[in-house]
């Protein structure tokens, strides 16, 4: 912890630091409706680009592929196999992430925070 020192002239070494009160917060979105619309347009534009790329990916990867997993095997389009693997990974990530968040909330609740 830093100590507050007073120099020989009687002035504090922290006299140049002023307390400006609590930190300023950005105004709510209702104060800037143009900004909200702009963010919505950017988000929608990004979503459209991702959708176009996804459609191109699906159209280019229609060939059937053989899949084997834990003794089970079968054939399906490559796109479906990759989408299923990505979905399974996303479900696992959400499950582990929400478990960890729940643990942290319980810990904070017990600690009184």
Determine the pLDDT at residue 91: 92
Q: Is residue 87 part of a domain?
A: yes
Q: Is residue 18 part of a domain?
A: no
Cα dist. 93→18, 27, 40, 79, 90 in Å?
46, 34, 27, 21, 5
Give the structural domain span for 68.
35-111
Determine the pLDDT at residue 67: 84
Q: Is residue 79 part of a domain?
A: yes
Backbone angles phi, psi at 25, to 5 degrees: -115, 155
Rounded-to-integer distance, Cα 84 and Cα 95, Å: 16
Q: What is the pLDDT along the chain (113 residues), one digit of tens a residue?
A: 455 555 555 555 555 555 565 666 655 555 666 788 888 889 899 989 988 988 888 888 888 888 888 888 888 888 888 888 888 888 999 998 888 888 888 888 777 75
**Total tally of structural domains belonging to the chain:** 1
Q: Is residue 50 part of a domain?
A: yes
Q: Is residue 14 part of a domain?
A: no
**What is the pTM (predicted TM-score) of this model?**
0.43
List helix spans (H) across 61-113. 78-111
């Amino acid at each position: 912890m830093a100590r507050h020192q007073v120099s020989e002239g009687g002035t504090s070494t922290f006299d140049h630091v002023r307390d400006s009160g609590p930190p300023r917060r950005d105004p709510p979105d209702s104060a800037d409706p143009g900004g909200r619309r702009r963010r919505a347009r950017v988000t929608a534009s990004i979503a459209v680009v991702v959708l176009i790329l996804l459609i191109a990916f699906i159209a280019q990867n229609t060939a059937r592929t053989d899949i084997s997993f834990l003794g089970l095997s079968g054939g399906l389009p490559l796109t479906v196999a990759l989408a299923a693997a990505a979905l399974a990974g996303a479900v696992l990530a959400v499950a582990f992430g929400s478990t960890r968040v729940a643990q942290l909330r319980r810990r904070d609740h017990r600690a009184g925070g």
